[in-house]
C-alpha cells in the first residue's frame, strides 16, 4: 500500500512529467494532516527548484497614494469609511517616489511595485505614474517596474507599457463564488477584465489573492485553478491582516501550517509561475516563513502598503539562512535574470549575506537578566 510520502511525491513527479493536478488532489493538499506536512512541502519544493533553482525574487512596494479610496473591499484598511489608523496622503511627486524606490533597490529588490489606492486612475494620473516609471528606469535601467493602480480604462495599459512598465498587478483577491462576501462596489468580472487588459497590452500579468477571509478550502482551490486558466505570470499570496476599523476586524482563522498548505497547493496547481509570499506572512507563517521560501520563489521586502513588515535585513538573512540567493536584475554584461552576480562583478545592490557570513557577523547576545541578576527572566 502506498504511503502518504509516496502519494505526494508521485503527485509532484506526475506534474514534473508534464501532467497536471486536478481539483480533488488540490483539495487533498489543503486537507492533509500535520504528519504529512513536510512531505507536502517537499513535493511542492521539487517544482519550485525545478523551475526557479535556488533564487528568490525580491520585490519592493512603494505606496504612491494611501487611503482615500471609494471602494468598500471589506478587508482593506484604505476602504471607504475605514477607521483604521493608517497613513493617508495624496500622490507622491516623482522625486519622492524615486527616492522610495531606490531604497528598495539598494537593499536588493529587482522589481519595484508602484501602488495607488482608488477605483482606477484618470488619464492624468496614468501620465503621472508614467513619469515616475521613466525616472526609475532612467536611474536604474535593469529594474523591473510593476504598476498597481486599480481598474484601467481603454489605452491606459498601453500607456504604462510604453513608459517602461514591465507588469501590472490586479489581484482577484478571492474566488468568484465568494466575491460578493468581500466587496459590493465592483465585481469579480471587473477584476478579470483588468487582468485581461494588462495581458493584452503586453504587460506581465500579476494577480493573486488574500487567504483567510472566510472562504472555504474548495474556494481556495477554485481560485488557484482560475489563476492558472488566466495564465498569470506571478501570484502574490497574501494572508489576511484583520485591521481594526474594517469589517474583517478580528477575523483570524489561519495557522502557520495551513499557510504552508495553501502555498503548496498554489505551487502544485501553478508549477512554473512566480509565487510571492506577500502581506501577512510575518503574522501568519511566523517562524515557518523560511520554510515557505522552499515553495514560493518571491517575496516583498520590508513594509507593505499600510502595515509594517519585519525589518528588511531580517528578510535578507532569512533568504540566506535557507541557503537561497537573491535573483539579480538584468544588466548588460552583468548577471542576468536567473543568475547570481559573482563577487568580483559589479552588483546592482549589496549582496545578501551568506549563511556563514551572517553568523560570523552576528554577535552573541550576552544574558544580562534572569538567574544571577536583579533583572526579570526572559520567560
- pLDDT of 298 higher than 60: yes
Predicted pLDDT at 342: 29
The rounded distance, in Å, linking the Cα atoms of 153 and 128 is: 15
Predicted pLDDT at 348: 36
The rounded distance, in Å, linking the Cα atoms of 56 and 292 is: 11
Predicted pLDDT at 378: 65
pLDDT, tens only, 183-221: 999 999 999 999 999 999 999 999 999 999 999 999 999
Predicted pLDDT at 372: 60
- pLDDT confidence band for 379 (50 / 70 / 90): low
Rounded to two decimals, the pTM is: 0.89
What is the average per-residue pLDDT within 309-335?
Answer: 85
Please give the residue that has the higher pLDDT: either 352 or 25: 25
Predicted pLDDT at 367: 61
- pLDDT confidence band for 338 (50 / 70 / 90): very low
Least confident of 21-35, 58-72, 221-235, 319-333: 319-333
Predicted pLDDT at 176: 98
- Mean pLDDT, the chain, integer: 89
CB atoms within 10 A of CB 122: 12
DSSP sequence for 229-279? HTT-SEEEEEE----TTSTTTT-----HHHHHHHHHHHHHHSTTSEEEE-T
pLDDT, tens only, 85-141: 888 889 999 999 999 999 999 999 999 999 999 999 999 999 999 999 999 999 999
Please give the residue that has the higher pLDDT: either 214 or 84: 214
C-alpha cell read off for 152: 484601467
Q: Provide the 3-class DSSP secondary structure of residue 185.
A: coil
- What is the percentage of the chain residues whose pLDDT exceeds 90? 77
pLDDT, tens only, 129-177: 999 999 999 999 999 999 999 999 999 999 999 999 999 999 999 999 9
Least confident of 28-32, 60-64, 273-277, 323-327: 60-64
- pLDDT confidence band for 279 (50 / 70 / 90): very high
DSSP letter assigned to residue 367: -
What is the average per-residue pLDDT within 309-314?
Answer: 91
What is the average per-residue pLDDT within 58-76?
Answer: 92
- pLDDT of 54 higher than 50: yes
Predicted pLDDT at 1: 43
> Nearest Cα to 248, choosing from 114, 122, 77?
77
- Residues with Cβ within 8 Å of residue 119, at least 6 apart in sequence: 69, 70, 71, 150, 151, 185, 186
- pLDDT of 366 higher than 50: yes
Q: Is residue 245 left, alpha or beta, with left meaning phi > 0 and alpha meaning psi from -120 to 50?
A: left
CA 323 to chain centre: 20
Predicted pLDDT at 370: 67
Predicted pLDDT at 175: 98
Amino acid at each position: 500500500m502506498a504511503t502518504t510520502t509516496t502519494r505526494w511525491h508521485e503527485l509532484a513527479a506526475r506534474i514534473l512529467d508534464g501532467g497536471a493536478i486536478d481539483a480533488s488532489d488540490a483539495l487533498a493538499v489543503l486537507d492533509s494532516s500535520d504528519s504529512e506536512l513536510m512531505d507536502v512541502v517537499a513535493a511542492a519544493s521539487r517544482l519550485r527548484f525545478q523551475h526557479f533553482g535556488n533564487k528568490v525574487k525580491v520585490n519592493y512596494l512603494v505606496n504612491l497614494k494611501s487611503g482615500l479610496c471609494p471602494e468598500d473591499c471589506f478587508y482593506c484598511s484604505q476602504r471607504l469609511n475605514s477607521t483604521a489608523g493608517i497613513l493617508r496622503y495624496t500622490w507622491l511627486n516623482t522625486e519622492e517616489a524615486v527616492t522610495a524606490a531606490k531604497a528598495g533597490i539598494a537593499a536588493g529588490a529587482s522589481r519595484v511595485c508602484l501602488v495607488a489606492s482608488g477605483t482606477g486612475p484618470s488619464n492624468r494620473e496614468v501620465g503621472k505614474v508614467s513619469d515616475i516609471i521613466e525616472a526609475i528606469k532612467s536611474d536604474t535601467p535593469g529594474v523591473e517596474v510593476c504598476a498597481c493602480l486599480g481598474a484601467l480604462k481603454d489605452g491606459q495599459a498601453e500607456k504604462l507599457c510604453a513608459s517602461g512598465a514591465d507588469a501590472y498587478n490586479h489581484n482577484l483577491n478571492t474566488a468568484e463564488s465568494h466575491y460578493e462576501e468581500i466587496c459590493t462596489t465592483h465585481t469579480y468580472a471587473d477584476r478579470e477584465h483588468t487582468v485581461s487588459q494588462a495581458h493584452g497590452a503586453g504587460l506581465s500579468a500579476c494577480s493573486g489573492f488574500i487567504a483567510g477571509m472566510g472562504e472555504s478550502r474548495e474556494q481556495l482551490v477554485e481560485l488557484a485553478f482560475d489563476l492558472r486558466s488566466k495564465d498569470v505570470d506571478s501570484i502574490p499570496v497574501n494572508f489576511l491582516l484583520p485591521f481594526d476599523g474594517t469589517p474583517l476586524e478580528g477575523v483570524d482563522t489561519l495557522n502557520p501550517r495551513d499557510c504552508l498548505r495553501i502555498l503548496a497547493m498554489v505551487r502544485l496547481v501553478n508549477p512554473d509561475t512566480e509565487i510571492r509570499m506577500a502581506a501577512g506572512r510575518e503574522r501568519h507563517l511566523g517562524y515557518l516563513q523560511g520554510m515557505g521560501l522552499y515553495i514560493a520563489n518571491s517575496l516583498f521586502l520590508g513594509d507593505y502598503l499600510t502595515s509594517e513588515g519585519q525589518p528588511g535585513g531580517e528578510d535578507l538573512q532569512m533568504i540566506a539562512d535557507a541557503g537561497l540567493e537573491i535573483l539579480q536584475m538584468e544588466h548588460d554584461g552583468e548577471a542576468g535574470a536567473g543568475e547570481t552576480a559573482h563577487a568580483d562583478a559589479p552588483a546592482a545592490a549589496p549582496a545578501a549575506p551568506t549563511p556563514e557570513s551572517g553568523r560570523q557577523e552576528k554577535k552573541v547576545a550576552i544574558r544580562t537578566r534572569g538567574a544571577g541578576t536583579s533583572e526579570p527572566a526572559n520567560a
